[in-house]
Each structure stands twice: as C-alpha cells, then as structure tokens.
Amino acid sequence: MSHKKVEHEDHMQNRSSLTRFAWLSIAAALATITLKSIAYWLTGSVGLLSDAIESVVNLAGAVTALGILTIAALPPDEGHMYGHSKAEYFASTVEGVLILGASAGIIITAGSRLLHPRPLEELGVGLAISAAASVINFMVSRVLMAEGVKRKSITLEADAQHLMTDVWTSIGVLGGMGVVAITGWNILDPIVALLVAANIIWTGIRLVRRSVEGLMDVALGAKDLQLIESVMEKYRKKGVKFHALRTRQAAARRFMSVHVLVPGDWTVHDAHHVAEAFERDIRKAVGPAIVFTHLEPAEDKISLDDIPLDR
C-alpha cells in the first residue's frame, strides 16, 4: 500500500471520529435546555427565557453538526473526487444563521417585557440552576474548541463558539438577575436580554462570514504559507526553484499547486523522485493536503511564461 493511500485512510478515519464530539454537544444541549427551562419556570425571567431559547438553538446546531460531520467524513467518490470536507462550511453557516434567529427571538421577547415589566420570583434557586447549566456548556465548549483546532474542523469550532455564546449569555443574565435581586429594578431583566442578543448577533455574523470565505476557496493562512516556504527553502538548497504557487482550503483539507523547476540535466526519474519527496514533506508540514506539482526545466525560457500565476 502506498504512503499516499495510507495517509488518506488515516485522514478519513480521523474525520469520522469527530462525530462523537457532536454527540457530546447534543447531550450538553439537552441537559442545559432542561435546566434553563426549569429556571425560567421558577423565576419568570425573560433573561432566563432568552438563555433557554439559545440552548434550543444549540441543540439544532449540534444535530446539524452531527449530520455534516458524517457527510464530511465520506471518502471521495465519482461525483466528489476531492472528498466531501467542504460540507463542514454548510454546518458553520447553519450555526451562524441559527444564532441570528435566536437573537431575533430574544429581542422580540425582551422588547415586550421592557414595555410590560413584571416582578421575578425564586431568583436564588433559578440562578443556581442556570449557573449549573452554564458550567456544562463551558466545559463542553472547551473540549470542542480544542478538538476543532487540533483536527482543523470548522464545524466543531463553530459549535464551540456557539456554546461559548450561550455561556456569555448566561453570565450576562445571571449578573442582571443578581442586580434585580439586590435592587428590585425589574426593568434590568429585559435590558440584559437585549444586550445579550447584541452579543449573539456579532457571533453569528462572524461565523457566517468565515463560512462564506471557505466556500469561496480562501487561500491558506500565513502560518501554513510559512510552513510551505520552509519546505521550499530546503529544496532550493538542492538546486530546485518554485513559482506559480496557489493554495486553497476546504475545512481540514488543504489544496496546493506549484511549478517545480529542476536543472535541465536531471533525468525524469530523478526529478520525479524529488517532486514526490517535496509533496510528502508538504503534507507532513501542513497536514492532510492534496499537492499538485508541475515539473519544468529551469533553463527553458518557456518555463517562465507562467510566472504571472505567482501569488
């Protein structure tokens, strides 16, 4: 079995294992929905209701993430020869839209309560229950974010950001409820909910923007480009030159094409082996990647015709 096939199979196994983190997110959402609904029922706080609504959105996002991660882990087929990893951008787009939808619901509810304030009840118990739900969300969010960054999964990162939005929502609500309990200023309840909605809107916009960039084949980031440059420098010392470098990213998968200029007196056999070694070193440096190399003789003037492709 070739090293490329082994690398590909390892990558697909790596992606399929991500679904267990989506199940963790689903379990957390169900637990927090239950706890926050109880807190709202006890207190009548529209702030806590907004918190519970966001947890329902979390559940929808987690279910979406589970489906998308399952699709993204599918191997390439005749209709999708480069795999299905780009599906992850759809999950993060859905997460962003759901976050914006939740904020709209919170604004409507809070606006109504702002016009018609009402006293809150059982604040102590309600706040304790909501705090417990926030701890669950925080712990799960940290796990998802760590795995998302490590495994380069925008779906897990989006889900983690969604959960952290919920945590900040809860912190804002808990703080507002604390002030209400001390001062009796019930109008603070809907005001806090509106501030929370504004924060949620910003998070949703950032998620959608990042997803759109991915769907438009955004180039690799500065860190990855530096890694590529370091590999190229090693081969330049062997007499190899490069130009027409182009890169793009599809979730965890990276794509790169580059023209490799070798001394004209090299045999095809030797040049091919250098190109293969270069591709292998690139994959070691940046992670799972599809690398296309085009061999050219360095002394041939025709080889310079495609320099305008340099980025």
161-184: per-residue pLDDT in tens?
778 877 877 777 777 777 777 777
Rama region for 184: left / alpha / beta (φ>0; ψ in -120 to 50; rest): left
Judged by DSSP in three states, 292 sits in strand
pLDDT at 277: 95
pLDDT at 271: 93
Averaged in consecutive runs of 10 residues, what is the pLDDT profile of the chain (311 residues)?
46 64 88 85 74 75 80 80 75 74 73 67 71 88 86 77 77 72 72 75 77 76 92 94 88 84 92 94 88 90 69 47
Q: Rounded CA gap, 191 and 107, in Å? A: 10
Amino acid at residue number 8 = H
Q: Rounded CA gap, 214 and 209, in Å? A: 9
- Is the Cα torsion angle 75, 78, 81, 85 positive or negative in sign? negative
Give me the DSSP letters along 38-95: HHHHHH--HHHHHHHHHHHHHHHHHHHHHHHHHHHTSPP-SS-TT-STTHHHHHHHHH
**Residue 260 near residue 232, CB atoms below 8 Å:** no
Give me the DSSP letters along 239-286: T-EEEEEEEEEETTEEEEEEEEEE-TTS-HHHHHHHHHHHHHHHHHHH
Judged by DSSP in three states, 291 sits in strand
pTM over 0.85: no
Comparing CA positions, the residue from 276, 285, 273 lying closest to residue 247 is 285
pLDDT at 9: 45
pLDDT at 235: 95
What structural domains does the chain harbor? 3-215 (1.20.1510.10), 222-309 (3.30.70.1350)
CB 90: neighbour CB atoms within 10 A? 18
- Listed in sequence order, the residues at least 6 apart from 133 whose beta carbon sits closer than 8 Å to its beta carbon are 31, 32, 35, 36, 39, 51, 55, 170
DSSP letter for 287, please. Answer: S
What is the chain's length?
A: 311
Give 243-246's long-range contacts (Cβ < 8 A, gap of 24+): 243/306, 243/307, 243/309, 243/310, 244/294, 244/306, 244/307, 244/309, 244/310, 245/310, 245/311, 246/219, 246/309, 246/311
